[in-house]
Amino acid sequence: MGYVAIPSVNLQSLDGRYAMTNNTHVDETTILQTTTQFKKILVATDFSPCSNGALEYALAIARVSGASLQLMHVIGSVEGDAWSPLRYIPETHATGETPDTLVQEFLDKEMNRVDTTGLTTDTVRLHGNPARMLVRYAVDEGMDLIVLGTFGRSGLQRMVIGSTALKVIQNAPCSVIAVNADWIASKGDLKNFKIDRILVPVDLSDFSRGLIRAAGDLAEAYSADVDVIHVVESLPYLNALAGIMTAGDLVPTLSKRAATDIREIWNEYGTDSITPKMVVKEGHSAGSVVDYARETDADMIVISPHGRSGASRFLLGSTTERVVRTAHNPVLVYRQIKRDG
């Protein structure tokens, strides 16, 4: 029987200080005890238009799940933070001071700008390293979800989402949604935004079961359509196998088997009320997922920090990292929530 891993958090320094450990292996029945009902959402803001859009996205989730929402700004170095509102106050810029009153005014203004009717909301301001403080606060307060904006551009710059965002995604104890600035700009007004289409990339490892379970729950909660995609990697060395089988012979066989496996996993762990679209493509895993998400205008890509290796941490160089770095569409890096009772 396969297993999934529920990561625990080892509080040391962020250069390994919040490294995820993989001490707990549980059997597949644990998947059925997890939930995607986010109840505590933390939104990181630097008061940029991108962060404003990420807040609207988080509110769309909170309205459906009934989650409480906290908006946080971490006051760091004024000189090192290009988006800090403190940077443009002459006396603050000169002295290096970081007045809490000014940041609180910005936080209050941002919360007053959006519709929080029926929701429990709060604002948080902390001092220190932004990534470190976000992760520490999420651990201490038992957050289920962190939402943050990322800056994506075309060409090589598209590979840079910002060191703070990447460190948070790598080290968070909970799920993280990265919302791309270009996607936010393309949507315009997000006040009435609704999640209508969810894309789930699976590698058919044991962790795919939990991911499909999560996707089904999310789709049911948001009345969204689901596409489940598996990519059969194009491997140059498969041009021939001992002269018996060519890559042209092998890929269709693998694709057919993958489609069957996806259907079986969905039937066992998915949601009966949702009929997903099964997609099998040949190509590069991350690139195929990113391109398909953009072609179908997916509102959320749900991806696991785990891979076939079973590593519990979001790894540099992994498919997940490449999707997060290059996706135009919002990406949910999903970590399971285990509920008592």
Domain ranges of the chain: 36-193, 195-328
Please report which confidence band the pLDDT of residue 98 belongs to, taking 50, 70 and 90 as the band edges: low
Distance from chain centroid for Cα 105: 29
Fold that domain 36-193 belongs to in CATH: Rossmann fold (3.40.50)
Instruction: Assign 283 a pLDDT band (cuts: 50, 70, 90).
Output: confident
Residue type, 4: V
Rounded to whole angstroms, the Cα distance separating 55 from 114 reads 9
**Residue 135 near residue 171, CB atoms below 8 Å:** yes
pLDDT surpasses 60 at 33: no
| Per-residue pLDDT at 44 exceeds 90 | yes
- 36-193 and 195-328 in the same fold: yes
241-271 residue pLDDT tens: 545 544 455 666 677 787 788 888 888 887 8
Task: Please report the pLDDT score of residue 250 as a whole number.
Answer: 62
Query: Across the chain, what does the average pLDDT equal?
Result: 76
Q: Quick check: 43 and 54 in contact, CB under 8 A?
A: yes
> Residue 92: is its pLDDT beyond 50?
yes
Assigned CATH for 195-328: 3.40.50.620
- Whether pLDDT at 234 is above 80: no
Q: Residue 192 — very low, low, confident or very high, per pLDDT cuts 50/70/90?
A: confident
DSSP string covering 213-234: HHHHHHHHHHT-EEEEEEEEE-
Q: What is the structure's pLDDT at 269?
A: 81
- Residue 318 CA to residue 310 CA, distance in Å, equals 12
CA 26 to chain centre: 23
Residue 1, C-beta contacts closer than 8 angstroms, at least 6 positions apart: 27, 28
Q: Hey, what are 99's tokens?
A: 């007045």
Confidence at 133, pLDDT banded by 50, 70, 90: very high
